[in-house]
Amino acid sequence: MQQKQTSGEAPEREQEPEADREVALRLVQAREMRNRSQEDFAALMGVSRSAYQRYEAGTRSPKLRHLQGLAKVGVNIHWLLTGEDEAALQSAYAAGTPNPDHLREPARPTSLDGDLMGRIVDTIRAVYKAEGQAIPDRSLGELAAEWYGTITSQAAGPGDRLDALAEHQIALRRRLRAATTHPTSDKRPA
């Protein structure tokens, strides 16, 4: 990657291919919906203002660990990463009438249990690491959001949530081991 150097500032890289402009637009929308400044969101995320500005510009993608701070002010991380409103999706499917038009707008800010989300992210990373595999940040975010939705909708208390997390961990480990033991192939036997 080429770098541009401006006097007195750290080198700035050109846009990374994985930077997601749609995430950047949703990040701006989330901040403006809450009447917050870029400095506020940067502080919540634990990054510098200039790093945050690159997220909004779409030249950098925020790491999941930085997004956890936004959950404290009600940003739906699943929506932020995917553009889908998880609550509307669950309601639509429960009613038997999924309507994609309702999935593109956040219904309202929802609170997120930052501790549970952190444990989910840590668990997923640990399983992948233990199995000698890597998971891209976006996939990690999507899987963590999926687990969070399932765990919070099915488990009543903190103890139940940890039990459900342990079950997800075991299932993921089995799935990763099965995938490495029996890789899929499009080739037919001769």
Looking at the predicted structure, is the pLDDT value of residue 35 above 80? yes
Task: Enumerate the H helices of 5-157 as residue ranges.
Answer: 21-33, 38-45, 49-57, 64-71, 77-82, 86-95, 114-130, 137-154
Which residue type, as a one-letter code, is found at position 162?
Answer: L
Cβ-based neighbour number of residue 107 at 10 Å? 14
Output the pLDDT for position 93.
55
> In this structure, are 34 and 97 located in the same domain?
yes
Domain of residue 149, residue span: 113-181
pLDDT for 155: 76
User: What's the CA gap between 53 and 19, in Å, rounded?
Assistant: 13
Please choose, from the candidates 64, 66, 65, 80, the residue with its C-alpha nearest in 3D space to the C-alpha of residue 30. 80
Q: Residue 104: inside a domain, yes or no?
A: yes
Query: Quick check: 182 pLDDT over 70?
Result: no
**Co-location of 56 and 92 in the same domain:** yes
pTM: 0.42
pLDDT in tens, 109-157: 457 788 888 999 999 999 999 999 999 988 898 898 889 888 887 777 7
Same domain for 80 and 119, yes or no, is no
Determine the average pLDDT of the residues in 165-187.
80
Assess whether 57 and 90 both reside in one domain.
Answer: yes
Is residue 120 located within the same domain as residue 97?
Answer: no
Residues 59, 78 within the same domain: yes
Count up the domains in the chain and report the number.
2
Looking at per-residue confidence, does 98 or 85 come out higher? 85
- Domain finish residue from 110, 136, 171: 110
